[in-house]
Amino acid sequence: MDENNLEHDCCAVSNDRKSHHSEKTKKNLITRLNRIEGQIRGVKGLIEKDTYCDDVLNQISSIQAALNGVGKLLLEHHMKSCVIERIQEGDHEVIDEILTTMNKLMK
């Protein structure tokens, strides 16, 4: 599989279902998650310092938006590869799976 195909091939269709992100995608996701991890540590520090609640809540809102961004990116890659491939293979159960996942993401 070449690098271009790997960019959009997020999941292998098998019983052990693993993701297969390109190195570029993995690096992007890990960078975003490291930033979010730092933001969470920052909020913990704000609470320890008795920072004004509104300031802490604004930081939490920023973290939620960043997590939503990671989720959207993963969902996009998943739908463009795994979901399409499984439908093309006749596996229509993937539609219920993705609907369940999207409902969880939209809570």
Domain that holds residue 27: 3-105
Q: How many domains are contained in the chain?
A: 1
Contacts with 85 (C-beta within 8 Å, 6 or more apart), sequence order: 13
Q: What confidence score (pLDDT) does residue 3 get?
A: 38
pLDDT, tens digit only, all 107 positions of the chain: 333 443 444 554 445 777 777 889 889 999 999 999 999 999 999 999 999 999 999 999 999 999 999 999 999 988 988 899 899 999 999 999 999 999 998 88
Cα 37 to chain centroid distance, Å, stands at 14
**Cα distances (Å, whole numbers) of residue 40 to 20, 71, 76, 83:** 27, 17, 25, 32
CATH no. for residue 53?
1.20.58.1000
Q: Which residues pair with 19 in a beta bridge?
A: 11
Tokens (6 digits) for 23: 């190195």
